Amino acid sequence: MALLNILHYPDPRLHKKAVPVKVVDDRIRRLVADMAETMYAAPGIGLAANQVDVQERVVVIDASEDKSGLRAYINPEIIERDGEQICEEGCLSVPGVYEKVARSAWVRVRALDEKGQPFEFEAEGLMAVCIQHEIDHLDGKVFVEHLSLLKQNRIKVKLQKRSRITA
C-alpha cells in the first residue's frame, strides 16, 4: 500500500468528472487500499479517487468511531433521496475549512463492491452526508461550491495565502 497525494482546492483537477470503472480488478482493489491508507493518515472519514488525481468513480468511507467500518463504493449513484439536513462539513482537499452545507437527510445508493458485485444501501445522518459529499467529488464538485460566491472566494484566498506561507 502507498500514501497518495491529496489535491487541494482550487486545483482544477478536482473539477474533472470521474469516469465509471469498467472492470473491478486487482488494480482497482489496490487503489481502494491505497485510498484507505491515505484517508486514515490524513486523517479523514471519506476520500474520492479524483481527490488523489485518479479520474475513476471510486470512493472509500469509514465513518465509524473505531475505524472498523471501511467500505469501498465503486460507481456509486444516488437512486433516491428525501428530506434535508444541514451539517458542518470539512474536506481533505480543503484543509482547515468547515462550513454548513444543506444535503438530503436520507439517500438510497447503488454501487459495486470490491469484488465487482452490485449492492444497494440506505444512509441517513453522517453517512448520508459522507456519500453525497464523495459523489459530488466524483462529479467534479467540491463542497465549498455549495456556498455563496463570497464564501468561496474567501476560502480560495485563505488557502492561497496558507500555501504561500508553507511553500
User: CB of 32 within 8 A of CB of 49?
Assistant: no
Q: Which residues lie below 8 Å from residue 89, measured CB to CB, with a gap of 6+?
A: 98, 99, 100, 101, 129, 133, 143
Peptide bond into 20 cis (omega under 30): no
Active-site choice (65, 88, 134, 145): 134
Question: Does the active-site annotation cover 88?
Answer: no
Q: Is 8 annotated as a binding residue?
A: no
Question: In whole angstroms, what is the distance from residue 63 CA to residue 86 CA?
Answer: 17
Q: Is 146 annotated as a binding residue?
A: no
**Which residues carry a binding-site annotation?**
91, 133, 137
Q: Kindly list the catalytic residues.
A: 134
**Which residues carry a binding-site annotation for Fe cation?**
91, 133, 137
